[in-house]
Every structure is written in C-alpha cells, then in structure tokens.
Amino acid sequence: MAFSSLEFIFRFFPAFLALYYLAPYKHRNKVLLIGSLCFYALGDFRYLPLILASVGINYLIVRQMIRHRDHEKIWLLLSLLYNIGTLFFFKYSNFLIENINAIAQVFHWEKELPVLNLSLPLGISFYTFQVISCVIDVYRKEIGEELTFLNFATYVTMFPKILSGPITSYGEISEELSVRKYNIFKLEIGLRYFILGLGMKVLVADRIGLLWNDIQTIGFQSISTPLAWLGSLAYSLQIYLDFQGYSLMAIGVGRMLGFHLPANFNHPYMSKSITEFWRRWHMTLGMWFRSYVYIPLGGNRYGLKRLAANLFAVWILTGLWHGASWNFVLWGILLFLLILLEKLFYKPLLDRSKILARLYMLFVIPVTWIIFAVNHLKDLMIYLGRMFGIYQGVNVNPNDYVRYFSQYKWIFLIGGFLCFPYGKRIFNRFQNSWACTLFLLAIFWYSVYFISNGANNPFLYFKF
C-alpha cells in the first residue's frame, strides 16, 4: 500500500490517525506499532513473519550484548550474519544462481542450479540497514539499557519510513520514541509536506515518466540520439521527483505523528561535482555507509591506496544495495572512478568554474542514471550507443525528439524548476497564506483525480 494510493489517503491513514490521537499518550507507541504492522501486511502479508522475526531475533541479540559485554563481538557477528544473510538470500540468491549457471554453460557442465524466483520483501533493504545500525550502536555503547522492546519494534517497523526510508539511526528518534509533542501546527505542517510530495510524485514524476515508458516501448535501437538524451533527462527527473516526493510524504506523515524524520535530499542537481551530488542525494543512505562502512574501514586516514580501496568498497556495496544486477555493479564502479578522479585531479577546477561544473554534471548525471535504469547489459550498450551515435539504429526517425519535446516540454519545465531551491523559498515565505492553502488544495484534488483514473505508478524505490 503506497502513500499515493486512495486506500492510504482516504481509508488507512485517517482511521489510523484518529485512533492514534484518541489513544492515551502512554499507549501511542503500541498503536503505532500495531498500525505499522497492519500497513505492512496490507502491502505484502506473506513477508510479515519475516519482519517480525527480524525484530524479535535482533532485540534478543542486543539484550544479550548489553548484559554480556564480554561476548559482545560474538553477538554482533551473529546479528550481522542473520541480517546480511537474510537480505542476501531474498535479494541476491537468484543473481548468484544465474551467474553460476552462466559459468556452467561456458564450461559445458550438464547440471544447472534451479532459480528460486523469490520476490523481494517490501522494505527489506531499508529496515535491515536500520536494524544493523541499531545493533552496531549498541555494540559501540551509544545505546544502552534504555532500549525497550516496544521502542525497538516501533523504530524498526514505523510505517512512514519502512518501505523506502528515510534511513534513520535509533539515536535520531530515540527521544521522540519516549517523549514527543503534538499540536495542530505539526499536523498542518505535516499535511503540507504530504501534499507537496504527493503532487511531486503524481503530477510531475509520473507524467514525465511516461516519456521513459514510451522510449522503452519504441525500442532503444529505434530512437534518435537527441531522443536518447531527452529520455535520459526524463528518467533523471523522474527518479529524483519520485523519490523526493516519497520522502516529503514520509516526513509529512512522521511530523503528524510527532516525529522529525531527516531530509533525504538537498537539491542534488544543483551540485558542481559527483562528490557533492552524493552528499546531497539520498543523504540518509550516504550517512549510513559513511558511519558503518567507510569510517570503520579507515576512511581517508591511511593514504591514497587505502582511500581508493575504501571508496571502492562503499560504491560496490552501494550499487549492489540498489539491486542484484550487473548494471548496478557497473554503476557503482563508475561512480567510484568519478569520485576518486575528482578527489585526485579536477574537483578544485569544478569548484572554481560554475559553467564547466554545470556542463560536466549535465553530461555525467544522465549517463549514470541510464546505467542505473537499464538492467540488461545488451540493452544498456544499445542505449549508450544511441546516446553517443556509435550504434547503428534500426528504422530511426531523426526528428522523433521534436514530437516528444513538444509533448513534454511543460513537464520538463516544471520538473526542472523543482530541482532548484526557488520553489522551496517561495513555499517557506508564503506557506501560511490563503493563496498557498488554496494552491495545496488544488494540488491534492488534482492528484486524487489522476490516481482515481489509474494514472499513478508505484514508487520507483519500492523495488530496491
């Protein structure tokens, strides 16, 4: 069940919010926990036992870790084996088997391993990372006896962030799990964030995503080079506005419940380098890898070779975290190389020259997103070949981009505007005005109209 579904907007959330506010203060975590489990079950009931097992097993481990500090490393290892092993089984076992079978074909082995064809449990990448962060923080003695089962279970399953983040550490919301304040102002602000995110996703991201769908329908081999670049720009806007829309909706729902969830984006397309871009994009995931992978490996403290090795580890893991496919591995390697080259050579030049930096990012970002978007390597090579004019197309109309640009130009304009901070500044200035309220009401009902007509797609990050 997505935030942008009519079931959530008009049934689940109003009913849950009424029960949540009517419940005595000391029981609201229980209401939130039960509501979150119901929300998850409505999305995919099959995997409800899996998340319950994650909560139960990991809480038993952290209690043992707190009580028996002499054996805390053993308990930490058991937790990591369970969490990473479960994530690997459901997300990467098919990928591993397919590659083993491909090797078997090369060497003409007679037997092949059966593919398991497992579906990906909703939110497993996100809630697993949050569980791991909490266990590691207990190991680091940043969390102690104050960690109760109810607070831990509520933290892991909290429905505003269970499906696609933001990825939060326990410490970021521990105080609000124990004591949080409610008032009509927080409810109003939460509603405003929710509506902005809803409009960003339904009215802009989904609409511009239709161009990317059209290109896939045409076939990559039959598009012109200008249309290939137009499609890459469309996907770049779609993935940003889709995920930013979800994040704003999650922050809005969290605010209505009394939680201040962290921001996930800081206008990443305003960046002047890939290094800066990944400090502004999916910031909670970046902070997770920095805190629990990069710094523990040594960061940049032990020379160039160690820096390169640590960056390589982070970006390979980041690529694989997003999906079990070779294009994600290539995507991670490319980002690693670009960030390493920036650190070693040309980032100071980009920082000094806005024009050069903008041209660089306008070229690099669409290319990296195409590698991210196209799962099959053969199709990926065809698309990149069409972008750079090195693949001979089939039945290509050299003027096809004119039609699509004319059709989507206003959506491109609106999407491009939302990448800049001007819209946020205008909203912050006029958010309490009647004009802003009427504008938000128009966005809400226009979004509902599109959803009711079936013009709404699942959030892109649900499949990661």
Catalytic (active-site) positions: 322
Alpha carbon 63 to its chain centroid, in Å, reads 30
Q: Which residues of 411-427 are buried (b: 16+ CB within 10 A; e: fewer)?
A: bbebbeebbeeeeeeee
The residue to which tokens 């899996």 are assigned:
50
Name the DSSP letter for residue 211. H
Listed residue (266, 321, 317, 277) closest to 296, CA to CA: 317
CB < 8 Å & 24+ apart, contacts of 169-176? 169/130, 169/133, 169/134, 169/137, 169/291, 170/130, 170/133, 170/134, 170/137, 170/143, 171/137, 171/142, 171/143, 172/262, 173/259, 173/260, 173/261, 174/143, 174/146, 176/258, 176/259, 176/260
CB 157 within 8 Å of CB 55: yes
For residue 198, which amino acid is it?
Answer: L
Do residues 32 and 258 touch, judged by C-beta distance below 8 A?
no
**What is the rounded CA–CA span in Å between residue 456 and residue 203?**
9
Q: Give the integer Cα–Cα distance in Å for 317 and 313.
A: 6
- Give CA–CA dist 280/284, Å, rounded: 10
366 in Cβ contact with 236 (< 8 Å): yes
Residue 435's identity, in one-letter code, is: A
Q: How many CB atoms lie within 10 A of CB 88?
A: 14
- Give dist(CA 133, CA 259) in Å, integer: 19
Residue 305 amino acid letter: K
